[in-house]
Amino acid sequence: MAIRRKLFAGLAVFLSGLLSSAVYAAADLNMRPGVTETSVEAFELHMIVVWVMTGIAAVVFGVMFYSIFAHRKSKNPTPATFSHSTTVEVIWTAIPVLILIALTVPAVKLLIKMEDASNPDMSVVVTGSQWKWHYKYMEQDIEFFSNLKTPQVRENFKLEDAQNNENYLLEVDNELVLPANTKVRFLLTADDVIHSWWVPELAVKKDAIPGFINETWTSVPTPGIYRGQCTELCGEWHGFMPVVVRVLPQAEFDQWVVKKQEEKVAAEKAAAEAAARSWDMDKLMALGKEVYDAKCALCHQVNGEGAGTFPALKGSEMAIKADRMKDHIEIVVHGKAGTAMQAFSGQLTDAELAAVITYERNAWGNNTGEIVQPAEIQAFKAGN
């Protein structure tokens, strides 16, 4: 009896595992219903098409298998002499045409609805760059960069981080915050290569193309956190460009806007005060290391030795020769066209720019002894 109970228990576990796997497989293979009106409509239309296809397949294969069985040689040794039937040909042509028309009408209506971004309640400019997103709220005068929050890659990768966090590599330092029940228009573009901004539960997916502005919209009825990613192969670190949208009730969103505006004023004041000071080497190196590890190490590596297409800074002529100081400032401030090196003038304060350049010229044995002050960055930007 004990053996039988164990066998039945094992069989139950096996069957439950199969059922669980089937449920998860079905969820992985199908679309998500989403939370917005358009995403639900898209899912419903998708399911209608799936069932229509299933019905067509059942009829076609049913007729085919019946014909094979009913008209086999052993049952009908004398073949028929007719070659075709005009009536049957008209029917099997007309029916697919009618099915296509019946599916096209709701599909076109939904596409027009999804593309109609007119009369929005607010607008957000989304700019993609290698490898981060920049969000600018047009009406609220708020803008910020959104970077991967868990960049445990290459030598910093920790398996336990991935195992203990279901949102590993899908978290950001600054979420895109939106109000619920508000029509939000997104204006998408890019600084360098083609990116694609995608949040499946909102039914939003649109390419961000350099030199072009694409338009889409959403209205989210349910507060919550919705995650997505860049879905265009935009370079080596394409997989580390997540999108996180936090939807808040209107009152909480208004409070968030006030807080962000206050933070912006405070940050501008602190940046101005920091830029006006004269910094010593130790403070510049400490701040520079912090900025470098957060903004530069992903490409150039923590040890400054670079990797692949990303050049080494350790021992590079630009970082160790005094006559290349201006070139060094130029590439960090304005970036370099045609490469993955982006401009940091809009991402870092003058003090942070001065600190990271100082750090790169004195870390990893470069030891130039040269200091870049925030005032020099200001003068460079002013063209002096």
Per-residue pLDDT reduced to its tens digit, 40-65: 999 999 999 999 999 999 999 999 99
Task: Examine the domain organization and report whether 215 and 185 are in the same domain.
Answer: yes
7 assigned to some structural domain = no
Query: 362 pLDDT exceeds 50?
Result: yes
Do 223 and 127 lie in a common domain? yes
What domain range is 110 assigned to?
Answer: 24-115
* 242 and 133 within one domain: yes
For residue 371, the domain's CATH number is 1.10.760.10
Does position 15 have pLDDT exceeding 80, yes or no? no
Tokens 């502005």 appear where? 213
Which of 295, 266, 297, 273 has its CA nearest to residue 353? 295
Question: Which one is predicted more confidently, 235 or 172?
Answer: 172
174 with 147: CB under 8 angstroms?
Answer: yes
> Would you place residue 175 in the very low, low, confident or very high pLDDT band (cuts 50, 70, 90)?
very high
229 and 169 in one domain? yes
Q: For the chain, first and last CA: distance in Å? A: 92
Which residue would you say has higher pLDDT here, 347 or 40?
Answer: 40
DSSP string, 328-380: HHHHHHH--TTSS----TTTS-HHHHHHHHHHHHHSTT--------HHHHHHH
**CATH of residue 46:** 1.10.287.90
Backbone φ, ψ for residue 366 (5° rounding):
-65, -45
Q: Does 357 reside within a domain? A: yes
Both 80 and 157 in a single domain? no
pLDDT on residue 20: 37
Q: Is residue 18 part of a domain?
A: no
Which pLDDT does position 105 carry in this prediction? 94
Helix or strand holding residue 357 (H, E): helix 350-362
Which two three-digit tokens encode residue 81? 């002499």
Assess whether pLDDT exceeds 70 at residue 11.
Answer: no
| Residue 165 banded pLDDT, cuts 50, 70, 90 | confident
Q: What is the pLDDT of residue 227?
A: 93
The 8-class DSSP code of residue 172 comes to B
Residues 187 and 123 sit within 8 Å (Cβ to Cβ): yes
Residue ending a domain, among 223, 238, 265, is 265
How many folded domains does the chain comprise?
3
Residue 19 lies in a domain: no
pLDDT at residue 254 greater than cutoff 60: yes
Residue 185 contacts by C-beta under 8 Å, 6 or more apart in sequence?
117, 120, 122, 123, 124, 215, 216, 217
Q: What is the CA radius of gyration of the chain?
A: 30
Residue 159 shares a structural domain with residue 213: yes
68 exposed, middle or buried (CB, 10 Å; 0-12, 13-18, 19+)?
A: exposed
What is the mean predicted confidence (pLDDT) over 72-80? Answer: 80
**More confident: 277 or 104:** 104
**Which has more pLDDT, 231 or 237?**
231
Query: What strands, in cross-sheet order, belong to the sheet with 122-129?
Result: 142-146, 132-137, 122-129, 184-190, 214-218
Mean per-residue pLDDT over the chain, rounded: 84
Given 265, 296, 320, the domain boundary residue is 265
Same domain, 258 and 286: no
Within a domain: 14: no
Cα–Cα nearest to 339, from 213, 191, 181: 191
Q: Judge whether 243 lies within some domain.
A: yes
pLDDT at 54: 94
What confidence score (pLDDT) does residue 60 get?
92
pLDDT tens sequence across 321-337: 777 888 888 888 888 87
AA identity, residue 307: A
Residues 252 and 143 in one domain: yes
pLDDT, residue 25, reads 43
Supply the DSSP symbol for 211. Answer: T
Res. 1 pLDDT band, cuts 50 70 90: very low
Give per-residue pLDDT as tens, 89-120: 898 899 999 999 999 999 999 999 999 999 99
Strand positions, DSSP E, 231-312: 242-248
Q: Looking at residue 17, what is its pLDDT?
A: 44
With 60 as the cut, is the pLDDT of residue 155 above it? no
Closest CA to 170 of 159, 160, 161, 181: 161
Does residue 186 have a pLDDT over 50? yes
pLDDT > 70 in the chain, percent: 88
pLDDT at 21: 40
| Cross-strand pairs, 205 | 198
Q: Domain for residue 15, yes or no?
A: no
Q: Are residues 133 and 224 in the same domain?
A: yes
**Span 9-38, average pLDDT:** 57
111 and 217 in a common domain: no
- pLDDT of residue 340 exceeding 80, the answer is no
User: Looking at the structure, do residues 44 and 98 belong to the same domain, yes or no?
Assistant: yes
Kindly state whether residues 95 and 142 are assigned to the same domain: no
Q: Does residue 270 lie in a domain region?
A: no
Tokens 């600054």 belong to 174
Q: Which of 115, 136, 159 represents a domain boundary (last residue)?
A: 115
Residue reference for tokens 């099997």? 92
* Residue 162 pLDDT: 65
Token reading at 275: 């830029």
What pLDDT is recorded for position 161?
Answer: 61
d(CA 311, CA 328): 13
Bridge partners for 140 per DSSP: none
How far, in Å, CA of 152 to CA of 169, rounded?
8
